[in-house]
Amino acid sequence: MIGIFFLFIILRIPYYLMDIPITQPELLWQLLGERLAAGNLHFADTIDSTGPFSALVYGINHVIFNNSLTSFSILSFLLISFQIYYTNELLIRINAFEEANYLPAFIMVVLYQLSFDFMTLSPALMGNTFILLAIGQLLRLTAINANPVPSILLMGFWGGVAFCFHYPYLALLPFLILTGLLVNRFSFQQLNLLLTSYLLPVAFCAVYYFWRDGLSAFIHLYLILVPKIERLFHVGIKDLLYIFSLPLVLALMGYFLNNMMHRMNVNQQKQNQLFLFLLLFNIASFFLMERVSPYQFVAMLPPLTYFTAHLFTISEKRLVRQTIAYGFFLIVPLIGYSWVFYQKNEPSFDKYKIDITTDTSIPVETAVMVLGENQNIYYQTEAASPYLNFRLTRLYFEGMDEMERTVGIYKDLQKESPDLIIDEEQVFEQWIKDIPTYQSLYEKDSQGYFRKVR
């Protein structure tokens, strides 16, 4: 395993040499951590769709490490190392393969090179840790005849924790229910236990926000409005197909060849079915994503690892196995490297990266509020806005009556007191039409910016 982790570090070196710029989601997570560290309550004081547990991590990380990209890389490396080790040990423990080896760990290390943003501290990566813990409990039910109650309880609980880290992992709940009913034959009582334990982390969040007088904001913004947000494509469908097509093809080949050429016992048949369902539900989580980028699909890597490992062991000829292994080791990382190299020279990459070009017309110490999705300006100025996700903000305000919306905007402007408002969506004048104080406080300049009158 030490050698495999050393290989992982070596394979990441080309990404560091490419000098990849900070991405828009990374800047948002930094801003979110800064606001939480300053005492702002997530959802109530900051309108954003990031999961409450992820926001808590960013807040703590800001206090300790100032949310630097280096801290993102170090923490994500630790999480990925745990995921690789846990996945390999789990597959050994459940006797998924005829021989216990470190092939799954090797394959997973290589698959992590498919995209540079797998190595950042994303909510998807943090939540995937708990998806693996939930899957571990589910797979144990196929391998042992012990009391299933503890495994079902932990399986539901870890699934709920994953959802509190990353909203698209809500797709794990129907997966757990379906596989529990079809594969593990859950009784009605066991199904109720699964649902109850899944809701425990959500209930914990609800109690916390109730205590902080932000329960309605948590329910409305995270549980109700997130699936209604207009989807933002940081990368296109073609890019996702370029990155994931070969691993998916190899995984499907491993699945079908394993079914045709290997005689599996009952437990292995169940494991095969569970991983196939897991892969399909991870792909289906696309419809719950409000930001589309490669890191969102990091939860696909464990099932891809499982099926690809079977492909490596199909043939008994050593030359064939070595050819597959070397080809996989060379081609898969090359896909990730070539995609970044190509994207860095494409205008479409502007949808994903932060433009660090300095705007000399705006001093660094200026407190800025951006009404829109272009948050590049926050990289060089002080953020003074609770509207970190403007697509969600628009939905949130549209659900209010005019008086409630006016009061909310007034309180936000009074609390943040921005020096400059960049109104990309042309909504600011409409928002303050019934607030005379701010009509006289801000003047529109030649650039279309609203500057505070000194």
Non-local (6+) Cβ contacts of 279 within 8 A are 251, 300, 303, 304, 307
Mean pLDDT across the chain, nearest whole number? 90
Domains of the chain: total: 2
How many residues does this entry show for the chain?
Answer: 454
Q: Dihedral angle at the C-alpha atoms of 417, 423, 427, 433, nearest 10 degrees?
A: 50
Report the pLDDT averaged over residues 247-265.
84
224 plus 371 within the same structural domain: no
pLDDT tens, residue by residue, 37-63? 999 999 999 999 999 999 999 999 999
Q: Is residue 355 part of a domain?
A: no
318 plus 395 within the same structural domain: no
Q: Is residue 124 part of a domain?
A: yes
DSSP 353: B
408 plus 448 within the same structural domain: yes
Amino acid 105: pLDDT? 94
Amino acid 144: pLDDT? 63
Q: Is residue 155 part of a domain?
A: yes
311 plus 405 within the same structural domain: no
Please work out, in degrees rounded to the nearest 5, the angle formed at the alpha carbon of residue 27 by the alpha carbons of 367 and 111. Answer: 180
Residue closest to 92 by CA, chosen among 78, 104, 83, 107: 104
259 plus 401 within the same structural domain: no
Report the pLDDT averaged over residues 71-79.
94
Tokens of 382: 């002080």
387 plus 337 within the same structural domain: no
Amino acid 283: pLDDT? 92
Q: Comparing 116-130, 263-277, 356-370, 421-435, which segment has the lowest mean pLDDT?
A: 356-370
Which residues span the domain enclosing 56? 2-343
H or E element: which one contains 159? helix 149-165
Q: Is residue 360 part of a domain?
A: no
94 plus 143 within the same structural domain: yes
Amino acid 336: pLDDT? 94
Q: Is residue 193 part of a domain?
A: yes
Last residue of one domain, picked from the residues 309, 343, 377? 343
378 plus 287 within the same structural domain: no
Tell me the C-alpha distance between 384 and 160, whole Å: 33
pLDDT bin (cut points 50, 70, 90) of residue 35 is: very high
Report the pLDDT averaged over residues 292-315.
90
Tell me the C-alpha distance between 80 and 206, whole Å: 29
Q: Is residue 209 part of a domain?
A: yes
202 plus 338 within the same structural domain: yes
Q: Is residue 42 part of a domain?
A: yes
Q: Comparing 20-24, 259-263, 366-370, which segment has the lowest mean pLDDT?
A: 259-263
Q: CB 429: neighbour CB atoms within 10 A? A: 12
Residue 160 has pLDDT above 90, yes or no: yes
Tell me the C-alpha distance between 406 and 397, whole Å: 9
Per DSSP bridges, beta strands 420-423 and 450-452 are antiparallel
62 plus 157 within the same structural domain: yes
418 plus 302 within the same structural domain: no
130 plus 46 within the same structural domain: yes
Amino acid 369: pLDDT? 93
With 0.85 as the threshold, say if the pTM is over it.
Answer: yes
pLDDT tens, residue by residue, 438-454? 888 888 887 888 988 86
Q: Is residue 248 part of a domain?
A: yes
